[in-house]
Structure 1
Amino acid sequence: MLPHRLLGLLGLLVLCKGQAENKTEKSCDDFTDLNLSHCFLGTRLYVRLLLYTRSNLDCGLEINHHHLSSQPLLNLQRPTTFVIHGYRPTGAPPIWINHIIHLLAEQEDMNIIVVDWNRGAANLNYFTTVAYTREAAQNLTGFIMEMEEEGAALSSVHLIGVSLGAHLAGYVGANLKGKIGRITGLDPAGPLFASATPEERLDPSDAMFVDVLHTDMDSFGLRGAHGHIDFYANGGVDQPGCPKTIFSGKSYFVCDHQRSVFLFLCSLNRTCHLTGYPCASYTHFLDARCLQCEAFKPASCPVLGYDVSQWRDTLLRLGQTKVFFSTTGTLPYKKLSYRVDMVTWNQYLRWGVVYIRLHSGRNFTETRIDHKLLRFEQYTSTRLLAQFDEDLQHIQKISMRINTGNIIGPRYKIRLLRIRFTPLEHPDRPLMCRFDIIVEENMEVTFRPLPCTSQL
């Protein structure tokens, strides 16, 4: 039995040894966390580069802008992705930083470098922050040139810029004569850039491949097309699920703009398969005028996300391409889309909106096609885009109602000689058809779909 004093001494030695070991452990370098006082006083630009790899996903390592060979975790033979945030009016770190780091690491073995320019981006004076983007771009350009001198290929560099960060990425690409492999712009900032020339904002010449996602063009985002391919979620403006009134507070201002990041994160997680359809406008898309991707065959329509670069050669051949898609308001954002082709035969011309419900067992999902009044007349082919919030398989029944708004007088009947439902994103699923259905206006009719045996 050891004396109490000796036991106490041994305990003290163990404690001291543990403290010494903790002191020798490398601490993590975290994203700069500021507050509103910094924003009111203003911050001067200071750029930090935080490196993450598969071996240190939860512990960032700040990289010296020079002497890259002294950075053991930075392997310049691997591809490198830079994540560049935008304007930070509150000074707080972006809530999505850790998510994008982990999701990018799942795509392939790469260097992930978070460009932390929060000191500079955190200013109540937006004009000051915009001016800092040029200076930050010069800083990052110098670092990438150091990488190239150490053996990195510019073609393996990918810049992901959010809002103001998208233009910062564009400046870097322009400084490097467009030799960067790829730039992804997530809702590039609109204020002060609406009338900017291509040299003053992100544009397709800034990299070998530029893809852009728009979600808030009527407020904080930039209108127009600025990449080799531009994705427009819900037309690039109001996003479903976002507040419609100012009484919702901060979310009213930032929800649409931030949705670009969350859609991109969802695509990285591969839970969102968001297909974009080349079209002249969102209205034409909703009118079902462009639900095919003939120019992309034998491949499918382009899909938002990290893997969109597989369509790069086709997009470079086509020139600037605009693609449109719709989403739900919550994860996983994806809508189930059907092309609905029907031939009507009715004595009187009718105008109305269409309600369609799909049934699978006790479950059902419903859509309303009401972006404009639809025309139903004698022996006319009509094509609709029907988008549902839920993906139901093994459809057993379909309900349909044509609402003409007629509340007085006799109810007219609309005869559907043929109707066909084509699943757009699931070519493996069967086409559903039905022939000779009588629909009384404003009344629901339910029928069981049949396998299609002929082309309509």
Structure 2
Amino acid sequence: CDNFTDLNLSHCFLGTSLYVRLLLYTRANPACGRELHHQRFPSEPLFNLSRPTAFVIHGYRPTGAPPVWIDHLVRLLAERRDVNVIVVDWNRGAANLNYLTAVAYTREAAHNLTGFIRSMQEEGASLDSMHLIGVSLGAHLAGFVGANLKGKIGRITLDPAGPLFTSATPDERLDPSDAMFVDVLHTDMDFGLRGAHGHIDFYANGGADQPGCPKTIFAKSYFVCDHQRSMFLYLCALNGTCSLTAYPCASYADFLDGRCLQCEAFKPASCGYDVIQWRESLLKLGQTKAFFSTTASHPYTLNYRVDMVTWNQYLRWGVVYIRLHSGRNVTEARIDSKLLRFEQFTSTRLLAQFDEDLPHVHKISLRINTGNVIGPRYKIRLLRIRLTPLERPQRPLMCRFDIFMEENTEVAFRPLS
């Protein structure tokens, strides 16, 4: 087997010069790479040019070690579809303590890969059947390849790096013209690229800080956790254990307010590998932003749309706490992105995110915290509350009608399906 180049910190301190290796994996060799010669590749019997080809392109490697996700991604791509998976190993070049050096090498590596793809095309391969999956600097590298090929590559995916690219012009970074379809997943606004740079841009938790990642620079994983989450979300969606449903929306704040959980112009899209099925609709709409929320760990999402109709005599402002009970197991959602307004005959839509999946909910607890600690507790009447599972459409809605409660006091009830 030909394995991904494994370097260490000494190589990074001394610096590495660019050397690009292309490692082929297929369903016949999902765990054993075959290095392809840049000119003599047609002689490799496992390389079938009539199949689609996915190129996996890593980013900056300040430690020199192979990416922890690469073997998993290769295996899942080969399982999902009969494709050639080519790992673009430019670790010699990406492994430099000087980030500027690695950035400069992306252009050279893109020129190298462009030449290889042109050779494939000459042998009968179709550009529109090619998918470049680029991580961090690898996404910009993919964009440069796409630009070299006049945007005729079928698809470019994932999360472009931010440092040195935030004020770059479109021809200096990934942009929608680099491929027939570009989908971007944002999980880090510090080391990832801000703004919209694809035909569709997905923003997990607003695209900034991710749940479970450290907030202080002194934590060991501070520099990688948020940025690397994009790949872990992509892997989770690819293997079918996550349902990352994203909703087109003007902003993350509007999404949290429940304003975009139903859209007539464009239905919710599954973030990840399967978004390609919405390509034609997205291309008609132009650049689209789509948002979704996740938890800190696998399976990452468990969201409910909560619709409430209140009838209270006095205007109240507050935050909502909802608990789901299943036997002795309890999971809670705190909806506190902003103070909510409750008044006479007002319909309120919320997004509730729970950390644990409880498939058989036998009781729901609800509390509206207004912060009122002086004077009498005002009563709030719920004419209706309805919880709709967003990622589990096969599950029934949970409803209840005519509930009387006091502010700052929890009320429990059995849901009706």
**TM-score normalised by length of structure 2:** 0.97
- For 1:407, what is the secondary structure of its paired residue? coil
Other-structure match for 1:216:
188
Q: State the Cα deviation string for residues 55-106 of structure 1 (Å, max 9, x = none).
A: 1122111110002221111110111100000011111111111111111111
Q: Does 1:322 align with 2:292?
A: no
CA distance in 2, matches of 1:106, 1:279: 33
Other-structure match for 1:295:
265
Q: CA deviation at 1:394?
A: 3.4
Overall identity of the aligned pairs, in %: 80
Other-structure match for 2:90:
117
Q: State the Cα deviation string for residues 215-255 of structure 1 (Å, max 9, x = none).
A: 001x1000001111111111101001111223322x01110
Q: Does 1:234 align with 2:236?
A: no
- For 1:245, what is the secondary structure of its paired residue? coil
One-letter identity of the residue aligned with 2:238: L
- For 2:240, what is the secondary structure of its paired residue? coil
CA distance in 1, matches of 2:188, 2:31: 31
Q: Does 1:90 align with 2:57?
A: no
Q: State the Cα deviation string for residues 341-385 of structure 1 (Å, max 9, x = none).
A: 222122222111100112233333210001111111122221111
2:20 paired residue among 47, 50, 57: 47
CA distance in 2, matches of 1:171, 1:346: 59
1:444 paired residue among 410, 413, 416: 410
One-letter identity of the residue aligned with 1:331: H
Other-structure match for 1:189:
161
Q: CA deviation at 1:30?
A: 1.0
Which aligned runs of 4 or more in structure 1 are off by greater than 6 angstroms?
none
Q: Does 1:422 align with 2:393?
A: no
Q: Does 1:153 align with 2:130?
A: no
CA distance in 2, matches of 1:39, 1:45: 12
Write the mapping of 1:16-55 to structure 2, written as runs, cut at 5 A. 28-55=1-28
One-letter identity of the residue aligned with 1:216: D
- State the number of aligned residues: 417
Q: Does 1:255 align with 2:222?
A: no
* 8 Å Cα contact 2:301/2:353 also seen in 1: no
Q: State the Cα deviation string for residues 239-297 of structure 1 (Å, max 9, x = none).
A: 01111223322x0111001111111111111101100000011111000000013223x
Q: State the Cα deviation string for residues 298-325 of structure 1 (Å, max 9, x = none).
A: xx52101211100000001111111111
Q: Return 5+ residue gaps in structure 1 as ranges.
A: 1-27, 452-456
Other-structure match for 1:389:
355
Q: CA deviation at 1:426?
A: 3.3
Other-structure match for 1:200:
172
One-letter identity of the residue aligned with 1:307: D
Q: State the Cα deviation string for residues 109-129 of structure 1 (Å, max 9, x = none).
A: 111100000111111111111
What's the Cα RMSD here? Answer: 1.2
- For 1:124, what is the secondary structure of its paired residue? coil
Q: Does 1:305 align with 2:272?
A: yes
Q: CA deviation at 1:192?
A: 0.5
Other-structure match for 2:340:
374
Q: State the Cα deviation string for residues 178-236 of structure 1 (Å, max 9, x = none).
A: 11011102x2100010011111111111111111100001x100000111111111110
Q: State the Cα deviation string for residues 6-42 of structure 1 (Å, max 9, x = none).
A: xxxxxxxxxxxxxxxxxxxxxx111111111211121
One-letter identity of the residue aligned with 2:371: G
- For 2:337, what is the secondary structure of its paired residue? strand
CA distance in 1, matches of 2:385, 2:248: 25
CA distance in 1, matches of 2:381, 2:73: 52
* 8 Å Cα contact 2:213/2:226 also seen in 1: yes
CA distance in 2, matches of 1:52, 1:428: 36
- For 2:223, what is the secondary structure of its paired residue? helix
- For 1:138, what is the secondary structure of its paired residue? helix
* 8 Å Cα contact 2:244/2:391 also seen in 1: no
Q: Which of the two has greater helix per residue?
A: 1
Moved more, 100-109 or 401-410: 401-410
Q: State the Cα deviation string for residues 379-424 of structure 1 (Å, max 9, x = none).
A: 2221111122222233222110011112222111111122222222
One-letter identity of the residue aligned with 1:402: I
CA distance in 2, matches of 1:391, 1:318: 34
Q: Does 1:105 align with 2:48?
A: no
Other-structure match for 1:401:
367
Q: Does 1:350 align with 2:316?
A: yes
CA distance in 2, matches of 1:73, 1:264: 27
Larger Rg: 1
Q: CA deviation at 1:157?
A: 0.6
Q: CA deviation at 1:327?
A: 0.7
One-letter identity of the residue aligned with 1:243: P
**TM-score normalised by length of structure 1:** 0.89
* 8 Å Cα contact 2:301/2:391 also seen in 1: no
CA distance in 1, matches of 2:80, 2:357: 26
